């Protein structure tokens, strides 16, 4: 009887380990975003962007900004945002996202999804520092711009963590050479100190054309 119980326990543990391993393997960056990264490579095979451009890396706020080149005429904009991504994902795919384009300027918008998923701002900053350090080693002299978190109505409840992230980004930029901090938080707030809903899509998370015009004005002075 004891042998049967022990055997059942062992089988349960094995089954549980298989479930955990399967769940973890399905959540790897390669599984989640591999198709998106491969899609960029496919685009490049058809029309490779010119090197020494302005490379945008980030989450869906960049991904859905399809006409961003129209907002910055005369500049070589390379948009490689992939929706839902986090700082750790950009760090994971850094070779494939950065090296092919050899940008002279890297613009990063990441951290919002990280915070929404429960990651702490200091952990996100640590990942960012790894990304910046690696990038500067690969492309000496590159300029980097860090865009603040944006205030979204749908995520207003976690604004304290967003503001903490903005403070860390601003401090890191001020203490580093060739790194800018671009504040889009304040410019998207109304007189009541809350996000202006007319600047957002129906999901109350992503910006519409009006919101992107405001974002463009904040970014434009930094895109030399």
CA-nearest of 83, 73, 85 to 111 is 85
pLDDT in tens, 169-193: 999 999 999 999 999 999 999 999 9
Domains of the chain plus CATH, in order, are: 49-222 (3.40.50.1110)
Express each pLDDT in 66-108 by its tens digit. Answer: 999 999 999 999 999 998 999 999 999 999 999 999 999 999 9
- Model pLDDT, residue 27: 78
Mean pLDDT computed over 194-219: 97
Under a CB-based contact definition with an 8 Å cutoff, are residues 59 and 83 in contact? yes
Q: Which pTM was predicted?
A: 0.87
pLDDT value for 224: 76
pLDDT tens digits for 113-152? Answer: 999 999 999 999 999 999 999 999 999 999 999 999 999 9
CB 131 within 8 A of CB 71: no
Position 26 pLDDT exceeds 70: no
Q: Say whether 145 sits in a helix, a strand or coil.
A: strand
Calculate ∠ Cα 145-148-152, nearest 5°: 145
Three-state DSSP at 33 gives helix
Distance CA 212, CA 166 (A): 19
């Amino acid at each position: 009887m004891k042998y049967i119980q022990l055997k059942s326990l062992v089988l349960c543990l094995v089954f549980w380990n298989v479930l955990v391993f399967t769940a973890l393997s399905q959540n790897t960056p390669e599984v989640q975003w591999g198709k998106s990264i491969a899609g960029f490579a496919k685009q490049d095979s058809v029309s490779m962007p010119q090197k020494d451009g302005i490379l945008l890396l980030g989450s869906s706020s960049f991904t859905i900004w399809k006409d961003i080149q129209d907002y910055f005429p005369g500049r070589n904009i390379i948009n490689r945002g992939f929706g839902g991504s986090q700082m750790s994902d950009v760090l994971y795919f850094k070779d494939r996202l950065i090296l092919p384009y050899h940008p002279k300027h890297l613009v990063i918008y990441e951290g919002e999804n990280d915070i929404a998923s429960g990651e702490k701002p200091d952990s996100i900053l640590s990942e960012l520092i790894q990304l910046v350090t690696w990038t500067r080693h690969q492309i000496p002299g590159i300029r980097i711009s860090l865009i603040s978190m944006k205030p979204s109505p749908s995520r207003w409840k976690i604004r304290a963590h967003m503001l903490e992230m903005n403070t860390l980004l601003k401090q890191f930029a001020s203490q580093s050479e060739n790194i800018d901090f671009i504040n889009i938080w304040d410019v998207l707030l109304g007189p009541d100190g809350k996000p202006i809903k007319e600047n957002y899509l129906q999901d109350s998370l992503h910006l519409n054309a009006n919101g992107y015009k405001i974002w463009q004005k904040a970014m434009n002075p930094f895109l030399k």
